[in-house]
Amino acid sequence: MAWRQPIVATMALLSLCGGAAAQAPSKVFKIGFLIASPWDSRFFEPAITRAFADRGYILGTNLAFDIKAASGKLELLPALADELVADHVDLIMTRGYPSAVAAKERAAAVPVVVSGSGDPVATHLVMSLARPGANLTGVSEIAADLSAKRLQILKEAIPSLRTVAVLWNADDLAMTLRYNSSRDEATKLGVAIQPLGVHAPNDFAVAFAAMVRDPPDAIMMLTDALTILNRKRVVDFAAEHRIPAIFEGDSLVREGGLMSYGPDGAALLNRAVGLADRVLKGASPADLPLELPTKFVFAINLKAAKALGLDLPESIVLRADQVVE
C-alpha cells in the first residue's frame, strides 16, 4: 500500500529522553486525521500545526498526528477510521463529508471534529448546529447556499452567461446537494447547467470531452477530495479552452483559476482547532455547537482574466478580497 502516507509523529517519544521533557506536559495528545484527499503537507499541515501551537500544543512535544489519507479512494475511509480507533487517538479531525461519515459511523467512541463537510445538518451528519448530538462537532461551511452565490457571481462577471458546466463528485452527498442548489439558482438566473458528475479520476476525461463537444460559457467546480486531486487538469483545461471557471477555495485562483468564492479556509481551520482544543480539555462534542463561517473570501485572478480576454466589471473587482495580478 505504497499510496498511503501514515506519518505518525514519533518525536514525542524522543522528547522523553531529551531536556524538553522537563517543561513538556506529560500527556501527549494524539490527533487522528481522516482525510479523503492526499495529505497536504505544503499548506494544510503548517497551518494546522500553527493553529494548535497557538493553543499551546506543540507538535512533537505534547501533540502527535496520526494521519490517514485515502487520497481519493473513498471506499478505504471506513477501514482507515477503524485504524484510528485501534491507534487510540484522542480525537479525529476529518476533512470532507465522506471522511466525516466514516468517522461518525466507525469511531463512535472517539470525539470527531469535522470540517469541509458541506452543510452537516442537510446531510444529517448532525441533529442541529446548536446541539450536534453524538460524538461529533466541527465547522460547517454553508457551502450548499454558496453554490447559488457563485453562480450569481459568474453571471455578474459574465453578463452573457448562458450555460455553466458544473463539475462535482457525484459520489459525495454533500457535493450533490451543492449541485442541486446551483441548479435551482441557475433556473432563476436563466442559465443552463451542464451537469458533469464524476466518480473517479478517469471520469474527468469524459467530462472534458463533453465540454469540448458542447462548450459551456463557464465552469463551476465543486471542491472535494476527488476534484481537488484533479484540479490541475481542470484549471489547465479551462485555460486551454478559454473557459472562465469559478472554484470554492482561493488556492485554486492562485494556481491559475479565474475566480473563487468561499469561506475563509484558514479561519475555519482555526475554529476547527479551537473546537478540538475544547474537546481535548474535556468538553463533550455533543455540547459544542457547530460553527458557521463568518468570513468569506472572493478571489480573482486578473492574469487569467486577461488571458481569457475577459473584462471583469467594476462591481466584481470591487468585491474581490484577493486579487492575483
Task: List interacting residues with another protein (CB under 8 A).
Answer: 121, 128-131, 142, 145-146, 148-149, 151-152, 156, 185, 188-189, 278, 283, 287-292, 294-296, 314-315, 318-319, 321
Task: Please state the closest distance from residue 21 (CB atom) to another protein, in A.
Answer: 29
Closest CB to another protein among residues 78, 293:
293
The least CB distance from residue 152 to another protein, in Å, is 3
Strand partners, 291: 139
Please give the angle made by the CA atoms of 149, 290 and 134, to the nearest 5 degrees: 130
DSSP 166: E
Q: How far is the CB of 162 from another protein (least distance, A)?
A: 17
C-alpha cell, 116 = 469541509
Return the number of the residue (66 or 277) whose C-beta is nearest another protein: 277
Q: How far is the CB of 268 from another protein (least distance, A)?
A: 13
Cell numbers 457547530 correspond to 290
The DSSP secondary structure of 66-114, one letter per residue, reads: EEEE-TT-GGGHHHHHHHHHHTT-SEEEEESHHHHHHHHHH-TTS-EEE
Nearest residue (CB) to another protein, 85 versus 129: 129
- In the complex with another protein, the residue whose CB is nearer, 145 or 255, is 145
Min separation Cβ 288 and another protein, Å: 5
Transcribe 249-276 into DSSP letters: SHHHHHTT-SEEEEE-HHHHHHHHHHHH
Phi-psi region of 190 (alpha: psi -120 to 50; beta: other; left: phi over 0): left
CB nearer another protein, residue 10 or residue 294: 294
* Smallest distance from another protein to CB 223, Å: 17
Compare residues 5 and 284 and give the one whose CB is closer to another protein.
284
C-alpha separations of 141 from 9, 16, 169, 316 in Å: 30, 40, 17, 22
